[in-house]
Structure 1
Amino acid sequence: MYRYTEFDRQFVHARAAQYRDQLERWQAGRLTDDEFRPLRLQNGWYVQRYAPMLRVAVPYGELSSAQLRVLARIARDYDRPDAALLREAQAKQDALAEVPVRGGTPVRTRLRSGYGHFTTRQNVQFNWIPLDRSADVMDLLASVDMHGIQTSGNCIRNITSDERAGIAVDEIADPRPYCEILRQWSTLHPEFAFLPRKFKIAVSGAAEDRAAIEWHDVGLQMVTDTDGRLGFRVHAGGGMGRTPVVAPVIRAFVPWQEILNYLEAVVRVYNRWGRRDNMYKARIKILIKAERQRYIDEVEAEYRAIVEQDGAPHTITQAEFDRVAACFAPPALAPARTGPQAQVHRIVRADAESDPGFHRWLQRNVAPHRDPALRAVTLSFKRLGQAPGDATADQLEQAADLAERFSAGEARVTHDQNLLLPWVREDDLPELWAAARKAGFASPNIHLLTDMIACPGGDFCALANARSIPIAEAITQRYQDLDELHDLGEIDLHISGCINSCGHHHTGHIGILGVDKDGQEWYQVTLGGSDGSALSGTVTPGKVVGPSFSAAEVPEVIEALLDTYRTHRQPAAEGRTETFIDTLRRVGHEPFKAAANATRLTEKEAA
């Protein structure tokens, strides 16, 4: 993973010291709330429904074991609300209706503290840290090269990428050096500190898009041209929210050396023409949707001016690329203990044949690696009684232990809110499986129904219309049978508590969106969304099933959709059953829509 330079460290520590000074001036009354608000937001400090929320940047998802341990310490020692505040918040939650579960215990949120939350954009959030302790937390983060810079505000946010970057077998080139160069270019960029709206960039270096690049303000796909030159295909104008838009290609090829010059033009034109009078129409997706070719023409003109008139000041030289790339040298790993690789493979395969649980884990949680002696292993954080993406202090410590023992001290936050160990030797897989199972991270559910994405929703977020966590828990409670989950196969279920779409409901094969209906929580269901991964295929937003459902109806709707899938699916080639998304696309939405709407309760039952 990237190794911070001395300049990087000085920068982060200076920013932490600057924030402490701002906090102290606010506490002393020398800064008003309005004056302090943009200063804390620039460092990732929000104020949410009940308490402050901190968003910590994890550039392109990489975490060291030392960083995980500091995140665990923050969760344990600082993510602690005042007891009276927690009682007050819990009383408000208790006033909300339970979500019934057929054959199970009705779900009601129990607010907890002392944990971190992995987001779909590879950040980590904390929900209960008091502002008067925030400067101490910033110092702790800086001690392990972490911060919250530009995780909020109308600026270029955390640069995200494929969790398998640098190790994927389908990789065209390692995108991480380019991500880091983008991070350095965009951090405190003097021209882009106050954009019309927030701006998100994702980069993929592989044939399969595991970074959902077409759902970002800018998505960069590494490609080669007809002469074999390496560069980027540039998508721009993607986004979810009220108006889901798949980012079109605005330039088929930009040489890698020129990508900063081109992005400078992309953001300058957006900064010039993006709407500032209406925050709901301020994202670049609205501008490009309205002005498509005119926008592209202006970007090209700006790009030519940057190159021809300004002398292409942001060109990446080979020396600069080599300097940054050297910070991503792969770790030195000890050789396999059990002999040549072919022998290792035979031993692991024999273990799998004798243990069905280990075999299933290998199928679902273990992915191939560019180095045939290594594997990429996903630790599942999705479990009964725990919100998707949440990790307690103890779990963060346990993940750090596993990263140190089995993955050269490195883990990565995935788009699906889990952790991935990128440097696992194949002969360590049996031992890792045993250790992960003991820690509770070995559920073989990756890409299955219970490996769902969900935002914190109305339990914490001030913007949410409805709760996400009880809905996720009700569905998880109903589908605990691993045999049934594996029979259902790969399904993306995504849940958002409001139209801002932090749970990426638009991209779910099944999407659930919390909506407000006369002051009550209701849920809109969508079908057929895709994020562009191999599982989902062509990128597209889901289509709404019909009028919204009550919380009590949602688990029944999911069951009806899955029963419809079982009825209509066909055996696929090579003995594999047709997936949910393929069945949906083949038979169309109508059978699913009819089944979902047939679950509607009477007004009395819904109450």
Structure 2
Amino acid sequence: MYQYDQYDHLIVRERIAQYRDQVRRRLADELTEAEFLPLRLQNGLYMQRHAYMLRIAVPYGLLASKQMRMFAHIARKYDRGYGHFTTRQNIQFNWVELEQTPDILTDLASVEMHAIQTSGNCIRNTTSDPFAGVAADEIIDPRPYAEVLRQWSTFHPEFIALPRKFKVAINGAVEDRAAIAIHDIGLTVVRNDAGEIGFKFMAGGGMGRTPIIGSVIREFLPWQHLLTYTEAVMRVYNQHGRRDNKYKARIKILLKALGVEEFTRQVEAEWVDLKDGPETLTTEEMQRIIDYFQPPAYKQLEDSDVVAAASAQTAGNKAFANWINRNVKPHKVPGYAAVVLSLKKTGVPPGDATAEQMDFMADLADRYSFGELRVTHEQNIILADVEQSQLFALWQEAKAHGLATPNIGLLTDIICCPGGDFCSLANAKSIPIAAAITERFDNLDYQHDIGEIELNISGCINACGHHHVGNIGVLGVDKDGSEWYQVSIGGAQGNKAAIGKIIGPSFSALQMPEVVDRLLQVYLRDRFEGESFAECVARIGVAPFKEFVYATPIAEKGGRLVGEDEYV
């Protein structure tokens, strides 16, 4: 994985010193909160409902075991013993004290980490496929290109005060596991007819108040021009993106207003003066970065050597067999597998991990996966390089620490933002809804019968829980000063990305488990064999789901029934 060079160390060291003085001045009332606001945001520090929240960057979701141990240290020393892994492949600490934040950043720097550009109107943490480098369907490893984008975008003088935040995702495989279609820029690796490597370039995707699937503005961009073309896109956005209304400030609004053809024309015109400039990537520069991502020292194994042993272990152990089926993924190297550690155990907020679990995951990485971990945008953790012969031992250890729930891709593998329990922007709580749904469907046999399904929950329209692309999406809304929940269905991420459609009037918190139950009943009743939830919705439409959900009132204790007369 990438190691800091002298420039990285210098940038981070100088930023911490600058920030430490800014905190000192704020605590001494030499800076007002309004003056301090943009300064703290540049360092990933938010003020939430109860305390400050610090968001730490995990570039393209990749972690060394020592970095995970640092998270455990921060959780113990500066927080309340846990952290929250996010859909940006980052981690957040929700209970930090302002005066301690410079010390946290100093501790992070000791393991080559920072919180720079995890907030504010800048280019945020670039995300990628959490199975990068090991996926069997990979064209090339996208991580070196993600790293190039990170280096290029950090403190880029043109793009530190954009009209709005800006998110980039890159995928290097046939299957999109980076949700590129819902990003401001989405890149996927492709080969042209001559076999040359390049990128299909999408722009204008996003969620929030105006969810939009991105548009392809270039079918093939030679890899040498990754930065020059990205800069051309950024310049068009920076010049013409709206700054008078933050709700209309994202690049998706600009692209929609101009139209794909005109937006692309302006980008191409801007690119003319950039395409052969100093930011054109060279083979030597890319090789320098690629060298940081060389494969680990794999053993010479054969899948056939371990299949028989694994079959014997799973034959009499249903729990282990379920875990193998859901949490163990194929690997391109014979004899190895990628393992997903589930952070979705019943009774635990999705994405949360205790300091003890973080230390334990770091230990697992050292013993089973060459000291490396990945954070997924579904808020789980991956050990990417596990010998198949060690899966049973790993499962036993992970199970003992609450990290082996065999629910990856199933109903209770819920994506969920912190919501109103923490976030000052939220209209409603997210975590209790996730907990109630998980408890209602805490039957793995039933979940396996349903099959793969994505349920995503956001506490507000900012969509940090990616509810727009959930097969079932739940959005917290304010209705007459109370917390209610709007439901959409048919959303999807990946190669068939789609925005879900709202089924009707909103529901109370107590009604939500029954709402999900009724949606699932329609799916199980009407689906074709092998048909996914999103495919079923696309085929039969929203009407059958809506009709069944609202056919009879959904009772709640001490509350009122949902009405048919208004939409929130």
User: TM over 0.5: same fold?
Assistant: yes
- Tell me how far apart the structure 2 counterparts of residues 346 and 2 of structure 1 sit (CA, whole Å): 37
Q: What's 2:546 paired with? A: 593
- Tell me how far apart the structure 1 counterparts of residues 216 and 395 of structure 2 sit (CA, whole Å): 42
**Quick check: 2:490–2:535 contact (8 Å CA) kept in 1?**
no
Greater than 6 Å deviation, 4+ residue runs? none
Structure 2 residue identity aligned to 1:246: I
**Quick check: 2:490–2:533 contact (8 Å CA) kept in 1?**
no
Q: What's 2:171 paired with? A: 204
Alpha-carbon distance change, 48 to 436 in structure 1, aligned in 2, over 3 angstroms: same
Q: What's 2:329 paired with? A: 367
1:539 aligns with 2:497: yes
What TM-score does the superposition give when structure 1 sets the normalisation length? 0.90
**Quick check: 2:510–2:556 contact (8 Å CA) kept in 1?**
no
1:408 aligns with 2:333: no
**Quick check: 1:553–1:606 contact (8 Å CA) kept in 2?**
no
Q: What's 1:12 paired with? A: 12
Work out which of the residue numbers 268, 273, 278 in structure 1 matches 2:235: 268
**Quick check: 2:170–2:180 contact (8 Å CA) kept in 1?**
yes
- Tell me how far apart the structure 2 counterparts of residues 347 and 261 of structure 1 sit (CA, whole Å): 51
Q: Over residues 207-242 of structure 1, what are the superposed CA-to-partner deviations in whole Å (9 max), with x where a residue is unaligned? A: 000000010000001101111110001000000011
- Tell me how far apart the structure 1 counterparts of residues 25 and 125 of structure 2 sit (CA, whole Å): 28
**Quick check: 2:303–2:335 contact (8 Å CA) kept in 1?**
yes
1:479 aligns with 2:479: no
Structure 2 matches for 1:385-534, cutoff 5 A? 385-533=347-495
- Tell me how far apart the structure 2 counterparts of residues 312 and 399 of structure 1 sit (CA, whole Å): 44
Structure 2 matches for 1:83-102, cutoff 5 A? none
1:582 aligns with 2:549: no
- Tell me how far apart the structure 2 counterparts of residues 341 and 474 of structure 1 sit (CA, whole Å): 41
1:594 counterpart SS class: helix
**Quick check: 1:162–1:210 contact (8 Å CA) kept in 2?**
yes
2:510 counterpart SS class: coil
- Tell me how far apart the structure 1 counterparts of residues 225 and 552 of structure 2 sit (CA, whole Å): 55
- Tell me how far apart the structure 2 counterparts of residues 432 and 384 of structure 1 sit (CA, whole Å): 21
**Quick check: 1:333–1:408 contact (8 Å CA) kept in 2?**
no
2:228 counterpart SS class: helix
Q: What's 1:255 paired with? A: 222
Q: Over residues 222-280 of structure 1, what are the superposed CA-to-partner deviations in whole Å (9 max), with x where a residue is unaligned? A: 10111111000100000001100000001111100011000110000100000000000
Q: What's 1:38 paired with? A: 38
**Quick check: 2:514–2:554 contact (8 Å CA) kept in 1?**
no
2:365 counterpart SS class: helix
- Tell me how far apart the structure 1 counterparts of residues 332 and 528 of structure 2 sit (CA, whole Å): 34
Q: What's 2:521 paired with? A: 563
1:244 aligns with 2:211: yes
Alpha-carbon distance change, 334 to 169 in structure 1, aligned in 2, over 3 angstroms: closer
Q: What's 1:553 paired with? A: 511
Structure 2 residue identity aligned to 1:43: N
Work out which of the residue numbers 321, 329, 332 in structure 1 matches 2:294: 329
For structure 2, the 5+ residue unaligned runs are: 561-568
1:282 aligns with 2:249: yes
Structure 1 residue identity aligned to 2:293: F
1:235 aligns with 2:202: yes
User: Deviation at 1:17?
Assistant: 2.1
User: Deviation at 1:332?
Assistant: 2.2
Alpha-carbon distance change, 335 to 251 in structure 1, aligned in 2, over 3 angstroms: closer
1:211 counterpart SS class: coil
Structure 2 residue identity aligned to 1:327: Y
Q: What's 1:53 paired with? A: 53
User: Deviation at 1:350?
Assistant: 2.1
Q: What's 1:358 paired with? A: 320
Q: What's 1:376 paired with? A: 338
1:495 counterpart SS class: strand
User: Deviation at 1:494?
Assistant: 0.3
Structure 1 residue identity aligned to 2:520: L
What TM-score does the superposition give when structure 2 sets the normalisation length? 0.96
User: Deviation at 1:305?
Assistant: 1.7
Structure 1 residue identity aligned to 2:274: I
Bigger mean CA deviation after superposition, 551-560 or 446-455: 551-560
User: Deviation at 1:341?
Assistant: 4.4
Structure 1 residue identity aligned to 2:168: I
User: Deviation at 1:604?
Assistant: 8.0
**Quick check: 2:365–2:383 contact (8 Å CA) kept in 1?**
yes
- Tell me how far apart the structure 1 counterparts of residues 299 and 73 of structure 2 sit (CA, whole Å): 30
**Quick check: 1:203–1:213 contact (8 Å CA) kept in 2?**
yes
2:217 counterpart SS class: strand
Structure 2 matches for 1:332-347, cutoff 5 A? 332-333=297-298, 341-347=303-309
**Quick check: 1:553–1:600 contact (8 Å CA) kept in 2?**
no
